[in-house]
Amino acid sequence: MKINVLTLFPDMFTPLQTSMLGRGLEDKKWDLNLVNFRNFTSDVHHHVDDTPYGGGAGMVLQIMPIKKALDSLPSKGKVIITAPQGKTFNEEMAQRWAKEDELTFICGHYEGFDQRVYDLADETVSIGDYVLTGGELPTMSMIDATVRLLPGILGNSASAVEESFSHGLLEYPQYTRPADFEGQKVPEVLTSGNHQKIAEWRHYQALKATYLNRPDMLKDRVLTAEERKMLDQIKSELD
């Protein structure tokens, strides 16, 4: 997969070039192309923004340098803009994007884009109902969530399947050595060697964590008969 990012701050994307994603870059599992659209301005001062027509506070990013930067790409695949009015990013989007050969992200800044910039995008996406100084951090989050799903990025291919949201539930608690730390013991079932019991315990704990922390995730979930029994037991425990 190739990912292009149009941004005024390419240096901010260093985190994507470290850890597992960084190793993926070195192994050519994916490619990151950072494009500073300030380089596509036509004036001597390299302005990328201007005051809004009709008045108002702040500065608005112009369409011209962004359009030129986009046109400079040999190919661009799906074009994505990060903005508060977009659909909220989720795991389903990451899984869908991971099947693409190429993605292009356009990062905003200042008071936002000239409205005509949105016409250049296939999707407008948000990471939540809060305001950041620019689109770089949301873009990095979405790239991380997407690229980690590519074959060969994670050390264990089962990891992406087992983690939070992959099955519509939060992740179950996990433990490692020592089995007893200052009186805090690992649940016995996890050291029992009974894989069926371990799987049942993990499913129960994942359902419990979701019910306690993100009950909204259960609203549209079609519960199995076993999950309904588990949920009744969870509610009984909490009463």
Q: Is the dihedral of CA 59, 60, 63, 65 positive or negative?
A: positive
CA 200 to chain centre: 29
Instruction: Give residue-wise pLDDT tens across range 144-203.
Output: 999 999 999 987 554 555 554 557 899 999 999 999 999 999 999 999 999 999 999 999
**Taking the model in full, what pTM does it have?**
0.86
Region 54-63 average pLDDT: 91
Tokens (6 digits) for 200: 């049942």
What secondary structure does DSSP assign to 33-82, as a single string? EEEEGGGG--STT---EEPPTT--SS-EE-HHHHHHHHHTSS---EEEEE
Instruction: Give the pLDDT band of residue 205 (cuts 50, 70, 90).
Output: very high
CB 190 within 8 A of CB 201: yes
Q: Mean per-residue pLDDT for 94-98?
A: 97
> Do 14 and 73 contact (CB within 8 A), yes or no?
no
pLDDT tens figures, 6-35: 999 999 999 999 999 999 999 999 999 999
Mean pLDDT score of the chain: 93
